[in-house]
Each structure stands twice: as C-alpha cells, then as structure tokens.
Structure 1
Amino acid sequence: MALIKCRHYQEPKICGWDQLLECEKRHRSDPDAKDKETEWIFKGHKEKNWRLRTTLEREIGNIGINTKDLHEDSKNRADYEDKYDNELKDILRKGLFGQSVDKIEAGLLRKFQRQFHHHDLRVPGNDDVTEWLALMRHYGAPVRLLDWTYSFYVAVFFAIEEAEGDCAVWALDKKVIINRVLGRCGEDSVLPWYQKECLSRDIDVIKSRTWETVFSQSATPFVFPLNPLRLNERLVIQQGDFLCPGNIRNTFEDNLAEVLPSAQNGSDYKLFKYVVRFDVKARKEILQNLHRMNINRATLFPGLDGFAQSLKTLLVSPKNLLKDF
C-alpha cells in the first residue's frame, strides 16, 4: 500500500463522542488556516482496515480475485487486505479476462448512457462525463469516482452505523490536492503541461475533450476533486464530493499517493485516518447525538427505503419508540 509505505498519513485513535467533537473542531478551524487555505473532506469506513477503493476496483476485484483462498492464506484482516491489494494491482495493470480496465469503464458508461432514458427523462448531455459518472455512482454502478463528504459528522455516521468493531474516518485536505495537480501556491504540477492547461480551462470537466485528455487517456497517476454542475438530491443532502483518479490501471490509493505531500518532520499531515474505538455505551451515545443533529438514514437517503432503514438506529433508545399514555 503506497500510502503506508510512504508514510503519507497519520492514524490517531479516538474514543467516544467528546473526542469526535475535538477532531471535528481541529479540521473546522485548522491551526494553519492563517497561513494556508485548507478545505477538509471526509470519508467513513465501518471497518478500520478497509482501503480507499472505488466501486470499479471493488467489483473488478470481486470477480477476478479468489477471495476464499485469500481468506484461508491470510493471518488476519490486515494481511488479507495486503494480499488482496497486490492481486488487484495485477488485474488493473493486465486487465480483466483480457480486456483493459479503460475499455471496461468505457463500455459501462456507454451502456448506462444508452439505456438511462428508459428510467429518467432528465438526461445529461453526452459530453458531460462527470454528471454521467455521478449518476452511475448514485444508482450503484461501478465507477472510478470515490465519494467523500464535506461533513465530518456524516462521515462518522457512515463509519459507525453498522460497525461491529473499530471503524475509521478519513480526513483529507482537498486544497492540497488541487494545488499539487494544477501547480498552484508554488507547487510543481504532477501533470504534463498539456493536461494541466486542459484541466485549468475546464475545471468542472464539462467537455468530453477534457475528460479524454486528462482522465480517459491518461497514464499519469493523480486524483482530482470532481462534482457535476447539476448536483443530484443525495449529493446535496450528504454534502458529497468525489475524488477521481487519473489512471485507473493503478489503484486509487496509488493515484492518491502521487499527489500527497510527504509530512515534514513528522507533522503537517494532509491525510488522517482516525480509528474510532467504541463500546456499546459509546456507540449508543454517538448514534443518539447524530440523530439529534438530523443525521440518519431517513435524512441522508430520502424516500421510503431510507426512512425504513433509519428505524434501526432508533433501537439504541427503545423508550423513544413507546407511546406516551
């Protein structure tokens, strides 16, 4: 895992609601804010050992990797993730059943575009690949986009809602990524000059030419924040943002490692993985406080499905379900 090998991130341990509040405060008012502009985004994982993987990577791995044998050969979950990652890298590099990952992605996108109008009349323009990929992610299709949120507490909810043990909340300084990719604030761009100029002229990647030049035909590993101009309802409610890898023949984490600056003297990290430890009492308190903040399945996933799933959270405080007489 490139992020671990290069020591690109810090992994603090936090316990309980009070420490979560302190963590959010740290990233809301960064101590370096007077000197540097920062903008933190967050992602929750219900399992602390989970890697940062896109749905496209996960689905390709599920099909191409014999996970049963991996489980039997692994000492623990962390060892399993390492072995899985090595096999996934090999598949992404060589292709799945003889087909390159780039061609697979293009085929999935084309299939979705050709049949989407049967289900919704609000069809994006063919050139707006960003909106198409956001819609695919919204409906559960495998894509290269990795979803994050501007809300620390939304990330905490996704991490702890179904966690059975230690979970994780990632925090990433989005501004550092932008500066590293576009060569701003004294940073050297990680992109070739023609890709940098193309992306700078179309920062929202609305034109298909930008997508093809910077992402689709790219051999450059990097990540860049992307969000469609027309946000779907779920993106608005969850305060969502996407990170898009440049070269999908590499893993998302390898792409991310290329644009993360190394911490100087063991400080000034721009990526954190907070391991959240909790017992039954702490989990109950966290879920109750999030519910009071109006963060639950019903609000994050509008509709009957989200409402019905939100009832699970109410079980942490059964007395609130009882009718007062």
Structure 2
Amino acid sequence: MPIPEIAIKTIGDLSREVRALAPIEKWLFRGQTDACWDLAPSVHRGYTAQQERYLTNEFRVRARSRHFSCPSSDDYPGWLALMQHYGLPTRLLDWTYSPLTAAFFSVHPDYVPPRQSIDRDACIWALDGRKLNESQGFEPLIFPLDASSYEPLVVPAFKNRDELDTVGVAMAIEHDPRIQLQQGAFTIHSSRTPINLIKGADEWLRRLIVRSEDIQGFFEELTALGIRKFTLFPDLSALTSELKSMHRPGDGCH
C-alpha cells in the first residue's frame, strides 16, 4: 500500500498531525528539502561497497592526528557516528525525536542543494522505529547504536562481511552537544533498498508534505518560535550563518 501522505501549511497543522500519531514516543522524524527523495543514506547514493570500506578505513587512519578524542580501534559504531557527524558518506541516516527539528531541516534554505528546483515540495517523514525494527527481525525496541544486536549492520562498513540486507533503528550516542540538542537517532542501512520502498513501509512510515508555495511561511513560523540554526548548532559557524541570513548586504542604512 502507498505510504500515507498529508499536506501541511502551518506549525499548527504539524502539531495536529504529530498528536495523531500514537503512541507519540515511538515516532522519529526526518526533514528533507525535496519530497521526491527516497530515504537512503549518503553512502548508498552512488558509492560501491568497496568505496564505503575505503572511506571508513582511510578516515580511521587519518583522523587521530586531527581529532583529540577518537574512538578505540574496534569501536565501529563510535567511528561511524563520528564520520556521520563530520559529513563523511556513511550507511547512517539521521532522524530526530523532535518534529520541529525535522521541520527546520526540511524548509531551511541553507539545506537546499544548488540547482534544486524552487518548485519542489518539502517533506517531513515520520517513522515508528519500533515497528520498523520488529519488521526487520529485531526486538520492537530502540537500542543505542553500539548495541551488540546492531553489530552485523555496522561491521560491513569497515570489513568485507556479508550484509544482513536489513535496516535497524538506533539511538544516537550523545558524544557531542549537537546530538543532544537535535535529539538524534539513526537508521542503519545494511540494505540498499530505501526504507520507503521496503514492503510494508506503510505500517510504520508517514509523509507530511509542505507544498512549495507554503515553504517560506512555514520557515518564518519556525523562526518566530525560536527554531533557528544557532539554537540547534551551538558553534560559531552556525552563529555566523544565522547572522548572515538575518543581515544581508544592502539592508539598513550605512
């Protein structure tokens, strides 16, 4: 069956639809600036399995001279989370327990890729993580990324091991203030099938669509409510980005 899809125009609409998800504590959210995109991690967008292993192992070799608190050599989940945090293509896909955070990423202009159509709709995905885990043969619970049950999903990113051809949902390990503020979680993709195309996805996925003509107003509502870049990313680069978006050349008197 097709995944249920609902158009929303305002934060009030988002709140109403989130409250309709029951029980709400089971649901995770992800914002994407294009509603046509599948739910696939970055390393599955054109990279081969061999390239993935090259990326992860090269990163491990070279990271220690650049980062003061690297994971231990055999802490594969820790390495994968660190790589994801710093933008390396991985088999992890970011989710959040906060629908407002997901909404922020779906409509903020900084996350629109170059040359992306201005007529595209944005999307906030809702995922019942426990149901997804159960459908993939795991317990109907969400464990931390370093749980032993997820090891077969993680290790093939580093070593030439057979894939389980499954997806798991894991809690993020809060090694960084950003993860805590963004209320993060991950799906771990041992399968190359996007999770919205997995059979039975309509049981644990929902799509909330922000139409192109409503994106600017939706973004302005989030800003008015204090959902801004520097509140989610507590660092100087985010503060700089936020100030530049608020004060553009030519604004005001000189």
Write the deviation string for residues 153-210 of structure 1: whole angstroms up to 9, x where unpaired. 111111111263421110010110222234547xxxxxxxxxxxxxx9x964366x96
Q: Does 1:270 align with 2:210?
A: no
Percent identical among aligned pairs is 26
Residue 211, structure 1, aligned to residue 151, structure 2: yes
The match for 1:79 is: none
One-letter amino acid matched to 2:54: G
Matches within 5 A, 1:65-144: 101-144=48-91
**2:245 equivalent to 1:305:** no
Between the aligned partners of 2:57 and 2:237, the Cα distance in structure 1 is 29
SS at match of 2:132: helix
Which AA in structure 2 matches 1:48? A
Match of 1:290 among 222, 232, 240: 222
- Alignment coverage as a number of residue pairs: 238
TM, length-normalised to structure 1: 0.63
The separation in 2 between residues aligned to 1:144 and 1:213, in whole angstroms, is: 9
Within the alignment, does 1:23 sit opposite 2:17 as a pair?
yes
Q: Show the 5 A alignment for 1:7-86.
A: 7=1, 9-27=3-21, 30=22, 33=23, 39-58=26-45, 60=47
Helix, strand or coil: the match of 1:49? coil
Distance 1:160 1:262 in 2: 24
Matching residue of 2:95: 148
* Partner SS state of residue 8, structure 2: strand
1:209-259 deviation digits (Å, cap 9, x = unpaired):
963577523443221023454432221111111100123xx23337x615x
How far apart, CA to CA, are the structure 2 residues paired with 1:125 and 1:8?
43
Deviations 1:76-126 (A, max 9, x none): xxxxxxxxxxxxxxxxxxxxxxxxx33322221111111111111101111
Q: Kindly report the root-mean-square deviation, in angstroms, between the aligned alpha carbons of the 2 structures.
A: 3.1
Superposed CA deviations along residues 28-65 of structure 1, whole A, max 9, x for unmatched, are xx1xx3xxx861111111112122221112353xxxxx
Residue 179, structure 1, aligned to residue 134, structure 2: yes
Q: Structure 2 vs 1, CA of residues 16 and 144 (structure 1 numbering), >3 Å: closer, same or farther?
A: same
Q: Which region of structure 1 is more displaced relative to structure 2, 108-117 or 290-299?
A: 290-299
Partner of 2:198: 257
What one-letter code is carried by the residue in structure 2 that aligns with 1:257? I
In the alignment, the residues of structure 2 paired with residue 288 and residue 167 of structure 1 have an alpha-carbon distance, to the nearest angstrom, of 15
The runs of 5 or more residues in structure 2 that have no matched partner are: 113-117
Retained in 1: the 8 A contact 2:133–2:168?
A: yes
Call closer, same or farther: CA 1:18–1:262 in 2, change over 3 Å.
Answer: closer
**Alpha-carbon distance in 2 for matches of 1:295, 1:9:** 28
TM-score by length of 2: 0.79
2 CA distance for matches of 1:156 and 1:148? 11
SS, match of residue 4 in structure 2:
coil
Task: Note the residue ranges of structure 1 that are not aligned, 5 or more in a row.
Answer: 1-6, 61-100, 186-199, 264-268, 316-320
Give the secondary-structure state (helix, strand or coil) at the position aligned to 2:14: helix
Query: What amino acid is aligned across from residue 242 of structure 1 in structure 2?
Result: F
Q: Which has the larger radius of gyration?
A: 1
Cα separation, 1, equivalents of 2:182 and 2:88:
19
CA spacing shift, 1:21–1:314, aligned 2, 3 Å:
farther
CA distance in 2, matches of 1:204, 1:45: 23
User: Is the CA contact 1:9–1:272 (under 8 Å) kept in the aligned structure 2?
Assistant: yes
Q: 1:244 aligns with which of 188, 198, 201?
A: 188
Q: Is the 8 A contact 1:38 1:176 kept in 2?
A: no
Contact between 2:132 and 2:204, CA under 8 Å: does it hold in 1? Answer: no
